[in-house]
């Protein structure tokens, strides 16, 4: 339905996005994850026709929309990262205004407003000014506004940043509702891997302006299929012990956690005995060992060398 072909964006000689190719099939939810500065928002701006790419193409049903974005704009709803609302108006007035912008009027407009207020759970507070809302409530209305014209494709740019758990759940439910019951195609960007895992059937991982991996959760986990995660609970942190573990051939990554260390290690190896021996050498007591398959966070760490929210 919607695809990008080798999108590239250069700002004042600095490349923000390089060769980004992705696609969204009709009705599917796709995640776009990456740390701050990875190029997600720039990519979204180019896909939604708000920013002209330096090179590459955006296609809707095979037709380029770079020069004539009207077709895309008709079917597209964008939820920006910012709260793009008139703070001095109520949520009802905001929805009414943006509805009118999209040509809705009369009963149709009124029904749509109430349907969306129901969807985001703010019908009983529709007359209150946006500036009196909590951050989470503002984000819910931010989403509702983008859905006023029943878009076939919705792009959401980190819609759950800095909000309370109740609003977060509402937003996640809204996305599920859009995807499952309305058949809306969703491109969802987030810092939170668990959100993308819950909502999206496929995902793209971006770093330094490039897509470094893509696929379903299972496909991405296969990247680390030959590896497993060891969670060591220790009586104390010991720098030399950590350094020693890093020198072991089977150890791919070592990360300090609150209670000890997290290791990504190659499977089927005599790793446990070596770890225990090292601990004895440095007089570090291992209180607990937990062996797990690598998570998507681990895959991300493996691919980018940093955590998602670094």
Partner 1 sequence: MVSILLSHWMRERRNPFLLLLFIGISIIATLMFGGGMTQKMKIDVFSETGELKESEKEWLLLLNKGDTFKFRAQDEQSARTKVREGRADLAVKLTGDDYRIIAVKESPNAQLAEQHIRTVFERELELRAVSAAAGDEKGFRSRIDTYLEEPPLTLQVKGTDGEELLRYDMGLQLMFGFSLFLVMLTIGFKVNTITKDKITGIWSRLILSPVRKSEIYFGHLLYSTMIGIVQITVVFLIFRYAFNFGLGHRYGLLLLVIALYSMTIVAMCILLAGILRTPEKFNMLFPSIVPIMPLVSGVYMPPGTITSPILLGVAEIFPITHAMEALTGIAIYDNGIGELWLPLSKLILIAVLCMGIGINLMERRHV
Burial class (CB in 10 A: 0-12, 13-18, 19+), 21: middle
Which of these segments, 31-39, 74-82, 196-204, 218-226, binds partner 1 (CB under 8 A)? 74-82
Q: How far is 117 from 61, CA to CA, in rounded Å?
A: 31
Which of these segments, 3-11, 30-38, 101-109, 200-208, binds partner 1 (CB under 8 A)? 101-109
End-to-end CA distance of the chain: 33
Q: How far is 1 from 30, CA to CA, in rounded Å?
A: 12
126 contributes a contact to partner 1 by CB under 8 A = no
125 contributes a contact to partner 1 by CB under 8 A = no
Query: Please, which of residues 128-167 interact with partner 1 by CB under 8 A?
Result: 145-146
Query: Please, which of residues 37-66 interact with partner 1 by CB under 8 A?
Result: 48-51
Read off φ and ψ for residue 233, nearest 5 degrees.
Answer: -100, 120
Tell me how many residues contact partner 1 (CB under 8 A): 26
Q: Which is nearer to partner 1, 97 or 282 (CB)?
A: 97
Q: Which is nearer to partner 1, 94 or 229 (CB)?
A: 94
Query: Please, which of residues 228-287 interact with partner 1 by CB under 8 A?
Result: none
Q: Which is nearer to partner 1, 96 or 262 (CB)?
A: 96
78 contributes a contact to partner 1 by CB under 8 A = yes
102 contributes a contact to partner 1 by CB under 8 A = yes
Q: How far is 181 from 195, CA to CA, in rounded Å?
A: 19
Q: Which residues pair with 262 in a beta bridge?
A: 231, 255
Q: How far is 130 from 162, CA to CA, in rounded Å?
A: 17
Q: Which is nearer to partner 1, 54 or 237 (CB)?
A: 54
Out of 6, 26, 88, 292, the only residue in the binding site for partner 1 (CB under 8 A) is 88
Which of these segments, 86-94, 180-188, 241-249, 250-258, binds partner 1 (CB under 8 A)? 86-94
Q: Which is nearer to partner 1, 101 or 272 (CB)?
A: 101
Contacts of 66 (CB under 8 A, 6+ apart): 49, 52, 53, 57, 58
Tell me the C-alpha to C-alpha distance, in Å, between residue 208 and each of 38, 47, 100, 139: 5, 18, 40, 27
Q: Which is nearer to partner 1, 96 or 202 (CB)?
A: 96
Out of 59, 73, 233, 269, the only residue in the binding site for partner 1 (CB under 8 A) is 73
97 contributes a contact to partner 1 by CB under 8 A = yes
Per-residue burial over 137-175, b = 16 or more CB atoms within 10 Å of its CB, e = otherwise: bbbbbbbbbbbbbebbbbbbbbbbeebeeebbebbbebb
SS (H, E, C) 62-106: CEECCCCCHHHHHHEEEECCCCCCCCCCEHHHHHHHHHHHCCCCH
Out of 6, 25, 68, 74, the only residue in the binding site for partner 1 (CB under 8 A) is 74
Out of 1, 5, 83, 259, the only residue in the binding site for partner 1 (CB under 8 A) is 83
98 contributes a contact to partner 1 by CB under 8 A = yes
Q: How far is the CB of 180 from partner 1 (least distance, A)?
A: 25
Q: Which residues pair with 288 in a beta bridge?
A: 233
Residues of this chain that bind partner 1 (CB under 8 A): 48-51, 73-74, 76, 78, 80-86, 88-89, 93, 97-98, 100-103, 145-146
């Amino acid at each position: 339905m919607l695809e990008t072909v080798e999108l590239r964006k250069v700002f004042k000689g600095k490349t923000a996005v390089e060769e980004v190719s992705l696609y969204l099939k009709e009705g599917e939810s796709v995640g776009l994850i990456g740390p701050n500065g990875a190029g997600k928002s720039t990519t979204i701006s180019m896909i939604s026709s708000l920013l002209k790419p330096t090179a590459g193409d955006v296609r809707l049903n095979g037709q380029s929309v770079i020069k004539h974005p009207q077709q895309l704009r008709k079917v597209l709803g964008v939820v920006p990262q910012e709260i793009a609302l008139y703070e001095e108006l109520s949520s009802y007035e905001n929805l009414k205004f943006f509805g009118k912008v999209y040509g809705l009027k009369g009963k149709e407009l009124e029904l749509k407003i109430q349907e969306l207020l129901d969807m985001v759970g703010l019908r009983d507070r529709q007359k209150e000014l946006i500036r009196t809302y909590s951050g989470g409530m503002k984000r819910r209305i931010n989403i509702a506004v983008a859905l006023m014209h029943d878009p076939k494709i919705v792009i959401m740019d980190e819609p759950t940043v800095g909000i309370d758990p109740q609003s977060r759940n509402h937003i996640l439910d809204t996305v599920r509702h859009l995807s499952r019951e309305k058949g809306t195609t969703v491109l969802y960007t987030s810092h939170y891997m668990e959100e993308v895992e819950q909502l999206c059937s496929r995902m793209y991982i971006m770093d330094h302006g490039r897509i470094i991996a893509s696929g379903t959760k299972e496909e991405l986990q296969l990247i680390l299929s030959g590896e497993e995660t060891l969670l060591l609970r220790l009586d104390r942190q010991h720098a030399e012990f950590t350094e020693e573990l890093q020198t072991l051939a089977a150890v791919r990554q070592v990360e300090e956690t609150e209670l000890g260390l997290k290791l990504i290690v190659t499977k089927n190896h005599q790793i446990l005995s070596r770890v225990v021996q090292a601990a004895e050498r440095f007089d570090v007591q291992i209180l607990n060992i937990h062996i797990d398959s690598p998570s998507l966070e681990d895959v991300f760490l493996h691919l980018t060398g940093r955590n998602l929210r670094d």
